[in-house]
Structure 1
Amino acid sequence: MNTTNSTFKSIIPFISGNIHQDSNIIIGCSGGADSTALAILLSLYSTKININIKLVYVNHNLRDSEMINDDKTYVANLAKKYKLKYNSTEITRDEFESNHNGSVENTARILRFNKLADEANKFNTKNIFLGHTATDKAETILFNIIRGTGLKGLEGIKKATTKIINNNNYFIIRPLLDIERKITEEICKENGLIPMNDKSNNDLKYTRNKIRKTIFPLLKEINPKVVQSIVDLGSLAKDTNESYELLVDKWYTELISFKKLNNEQIFTIKNIDTFKKLPTKLKTELIKNILNHTSIPKKQITVKHIFKIAELISLQGTKYYNLPNKVKFIKEYNIASFTFSERSSKLN
């Protein structure tokens, strides 16, 4: 059994759980090995079950026009070869400049998802398939570690997730997230295809490229299976986070109550003595969850607010604290409450 067939066999259970008969799907296709391999495998799946596939090439307008045209031609020919639908779309320079947020990479990612969502709408679907691999996941986890992250960041890229884009839900599906990039390259080779090589992927001014081209080769000298080791760490982090979320839910249900009184809404920590005995991380997570349910916009909730409340709860006597958007915190006796008006909640 060749690599194409063995990989296809390995991803069928996941694909069949996320695609139904007569579904429409789009594939974000750059022309690289990963998205090319994904197009090959999903076209193979379409011979088993009737699904309609459209390849979408997103032009970021960040490279030489000749290179962009070569990529577009390659993806168009790929669609023709496998009898798939095709369209290209672009992020204009004006769009990029007016939406620039932090790094070029981050801005490009956000705008790319916007364009893919637009194409999904035109194709009457919410299913967006992407060709990310285990190699991408390992790079993302390492990137998060370098930048600074908690357990959530150690999960890396998710295999299937719901993403809100322009106030609509889209299903982002990555069937190749358990295989490494060398496998997608082999699939392309077996099928007589030479994928496009984006030269910007060699530009070390981008952090992800530094990780891919400089750091990972060094790590592989120490551990040739470092990609799988990091991916396994991500899976462990995911399991830990899920267990922790269940624990947070348990204590939230046990310790937190909610009521409406006249025009006010009140969240109450019912037993301060029990709350104080919880681990610090669990206490701060419960406070964060309460604040997320108040009238305070999430972007205005800071670590400073959370730790200040935790500190006040730990102290003796009655304590007061005014939070953003007219939310009032008061701790007295063995309870602590968060009070805000129903009107301010509706305004938020």
Structure 2
Amino acid sequence: MIVQVEKFMRKWNMVPKGGRVLVGVSGGADSVCLCLILYELSTKMNFSLEVIHVEHGIRGEESKNDAVFVEQLCKQRGIVCHIRNVDVPRYAKIHHLGEEEAARILRYQVFADAAGQDRNVRIALAHHMEDNAETMLFQLIRGSGLDGLCGMRPQRTGTNGEIYIRPFLQCSREQIEQFLEERGQGYCTDSTNANESYSRNRMRKRVLPELIRMNPQAVQHMQTAMEQLQQVRDYLEEETVSLEKKFISGERKNVKLDTDGLAELSQAVRMRLIRKAVWKAAGACKDITAAHLQAVADLLEKQTGRYVKLPYGLTATRVYNVIEIMGKRKETEKICLPIDTDRLPENLLAGEWKFSFKKFLYDGNTDKIPRKMYTKWFDYDKIKDSLAIRNRRKGDYFVLDAAGHHKKLEDYFVNEKIPASHRDEQLLLAGEDEIFWIVGGRMAYGTGISDATRWVLEITASNSSH
């Protein structure tokens, strides 16, 4: 078994030369066996070994005895041992979690803290083939996609950059128990392992044994299937990464997924891009199921304005040629700032915008007229009455052409494909119901400079995002 584990570790380059391995040892058979094998391999593979034991505060004296057992195991071999105490029941109550999930979260927090920022540290966990098979089954019944069915990785990077390794993933529980028996090495038995209120225990005691009775090679076959699925996943991931910048933009709670060309991709790559976009918006992947991702994919066939609710307070909305995946938007602050055209302010603040005003005589030189989106020249005499910077109102319109035709502001928004969620935020230079300038957009006909212009009103709008 030692040769098998060494070969597996070298295949995956699990430990750098001169590195430090922290092995999580609960005192149970799996972790005790891993500790002994890594102890024997540490000199040959040139790494230092330390043990970390997490006492969860669940099983009273039994749990404390496990900690004493692990300390003695390490003392006999001169292995540095770290004992860490956590309060699982309290954490579970505060965060409204089951004890099984709370224990897992706290355990991994301890591991991450122990590793710190040293990237030569590896945290070794004793998951074996049966554990991996159980994980695959759990993911299957929870509706996981391809990645969940791949099972556990031989090594992975945690959220804080810590690196976990699983040297036993190709070893069976039978091999582990045989190894310990041959060396006469005892271990602790966790009484909670018999408690079938824990879903993991029910899977271990009821479901997996039944599958093995149906086919003694069931676990090995599942392991082979997971390895094949990992190859498929890795290939798809490479394809997806090469396309990510083309289709996905934005940041957490504000991500846009470009739909142009998305439907032409293979379904597998398309779904992975959708998943990446949702994960990026959420800043997490937990609780985002295949059903959620399919709901977002269905928006590709739907009209602008259609939306679906997602975990983490997100909403995915079809907006013309993009799908916006966003958190809850703050309610738009209504703005209506009158402008005294007889005593023009030098600057006027409107939300995050600053407007600057200048009035001067027109010299007739059309080359000086700015061609900028946020700086415009107006004929002062044509717009000076009842002028204001404000948001839209029902009935707003602007003059479209020399014939005096009107265009409703709402129609303009639709034609310019301005998302409905952004329309209330649009600032306007307006009279009563008539719009003179859609800030950043077009001016109304007849408000600009002409041969008859005497006074110019220059308005500049500035915002930190522009």
| Shorter-chain TM-score range | 0.7 to 0.9
The match for 1:91 is 86
Partner of 2:231: 239
- RCO higher in structure (CA 8 A, sep ≥6): 1
Structure 2 runs not aligned, ≥5 long: 330-351, 353-421, 423-463
| 8 Å CA contact 2:57, 2:85 repeated in 1 | yes
Q: TM-score, normalised by structure 2?
A: 0.59
> Partner residue of 1:35?
31
Call closer, same or farther: CA 1:71–1:14 in 2, change over 3 Å.
farther
Aligned-residue CA RMSD (Å): 3.8
Task: Provide the C-alpha distance between the structure 2 equivalents of 1:224 and 1:85, rounded to a whole number of angstroms.
Answer: 40
Q: How does 1:191-206 map to 2 (within 5 A)?
A: 191-206=183-198
Q: Greater helix percent: which structure? A: 1
**Matching residue of 1:226:** 218
Structure 2: distance between partners of 1:84 and 1:178 = 26
Specify the code of the residue in structure 1 equivalent to 2:114: E
Tell me: CA distance 1:314–1:28, structure 2 relative to 1, closer, same or farther (3 Å): same
- The corresponding residue for 1:286 is 273
Write the distance in 1 (CA, Å) between the matches of 2:72 and 2:118.
Answer: 20
2:7 equivalent to 1:10: yes
Map 1:1-348 → 2, pairs under 5 A: 3=1, 5-14=2-11, 17-65=13-61, 67-92=62-87, 93-101=89-97, 103-121=98-116, 126-164=121-159, 168-249=160-241, 252=244, 256=247, 268-271=258-261, 275-280=262-267, 282-290=269-277, 310-311=297-298, 313-314=300-301, 319-320=304-305, 329-331=318-320, 336=322
The share of aligned pairs that are identical, in percent, is 25
Q: Deviations over 1:162-192 (max 9, x none)?
A: 011xxx2100101111110111112212222
CA contact (8 A) 1:126 1:169 kept: no
Q: Distance in 2 between matches of 1:14 and 1:198?
A: 33
Q: Aligned to 1:87, what secondary structure does the other structure show?
A: strand
Q: Which amino acid aligns with 1:256?
A: F
Give deviations 1:89-136, integer Å, cap 9, x for gaps: 1112433432343x3211110111111222333999642111111111
**Which residue pairs with 2:344 in the alignment?**
none
Work out whether residues 248 and 277 of structure 2, in 8 Å CA contact, stay in contact via their aligned partners in 1. Answer: no
What code does the residue aligned with 1:219 have?
Answer: L
Structure 1 gaps, min length 5: none
AA aligned to 1:177 is: L
Output the CA distance in 2 between the equivalents of 1:337 and 1:290: 10
- Please give the alpha-carbon distance, in whole angstroms, between the structure 1 residues aligned to 2:39 and 2:265: 52
Q: Secondary structure at the match of 2:167?
A: coil
Q: Which secondary structure does the structure 2 equivalent of 1:19 belong to?
A: coil
Aligned pair in 2 of structure 1 residues 111, 326: CA closer, same or farther (>3 Å)?
closer
Aligned length: 322
**Residues 307/73 of structure 1: CA separation in 2 closer, same or farther (3 Å cut):** closer
> Relative to 1, partners in 2 of residues 1:8 and 1:228: Cα closer, same or farther, differing over 3 Å?
closer
Task: Specify whether residues 203 and 338 from structure 1 end up closer, same or farther in structure 2 by C-alpha distance, changes over 3 A only.
Answer: closer
One-letter code of the match for 1:13? R
Q: Does structure 1 conserve the Cα–Cα contact (< 8 Å) formed by 2:316 and 2:325?
A: yes
8 Å Cα contact 1:25/1:120 also seen in 2: no
Deviation at 1:29, TM superposition (A): 0.2
Which amino acid is the alignment partner of residue 319 of structure 1? T
Could you say if the C-alpha distance between residues 238 and 11 of structure 1 is closer, same or farther in structure 2, counting changes exceeding 3 Å?
closer
**Rounded Cα–Cα distance in structure 2 between residues aligned with 1:94 and 1:159:** 32
Query: How far, CA to CA, are the matches of 2:239 and 2:173 in structure 1?
Result: 36
TM-score normalised over the length of structure 1: 0.77
Counterparts in 2 of 1:309 and 1:206: CA distance versus 1, 3 Å: closer
Q: Which amino acid aligns with 2:44?
A: K
Deviation at 1:306, TM superposition (A): 5.9
Amino acid at match of 2:304: K
Residues in 1 aligned to 2:236 and 2:145: alpha-carbon distance in whole angstroms: 13
Contact 2:145 2:290 in 1 (8 A): no
CA distance in 1 between counterparts of 2:110 and 2:30 reads: 20
